[in-house]
Structure 1
């Protein structure tokens, strides 16, 4: 959906852009996956890829609109195996009522219904597609949509 068709509440304010820039959400890595090229703004002389903030905002709004459609927040699984994302996952889950999986993802959480840790979320959100690849792979087996926070070198296979 184009930005011009969105309600005014979804438009990025200068404060939103400042927060994204201060968090350095626009700084990518030196490597670039082919599927991430449409989101690239430019490559700096030192080789660092810079992500387009406008496209980042559009995807944030799209993810928020998708997550709002889930009736029961406990049906959202938020996953992070990386240490820097675990605190964010736990806080997101505490504020929204989503289920958090911080730390190691146990294989079979989504596919092995015999285990105690079996979950059937309606959607999963992962902080890094590379380290959370097991969760993404299992979600693809059982047709669970995946929202991922991607860097310029992130693999986007099975990410919706």
Structure 2
């Protein structure tokens, strides 16, 4: 009888893993609402960019080629944004979710380290930071400018103020 119990448990684990995969497959990884909001804000600030460069580690959501800056738009739940109320571990199957979130974090760090080794700056924008468009623009300007100040070419990334008075 012990082998029957093991078979049942193995079947349950396999079914659970299959369910988790099919559950997570429902979530899109590109062109999400927060990502589109970040793109809209960058465009309004005068930045020009490329999307989802597969030749870069982690396939950044947005790439500013002239500034060699990769922007990742992270969901607060999926990437466990520290201090955010959306970054919670579900009560059902907490072991699975804890492992999933640790793997996500490990992969995120590895991608950023790899990009930095290739001479790319990185910016992470959290989903909760995309709620207010004006605040998002400020966050983007500060983070991209901070990266550019460290750039050896000294590129000025802050767009000029509109000097025309209406």
- Name the TM-score class by shorter chain: under 0.3
- TM-score normalized by structure 2? 0.21
Higher strand share: 1
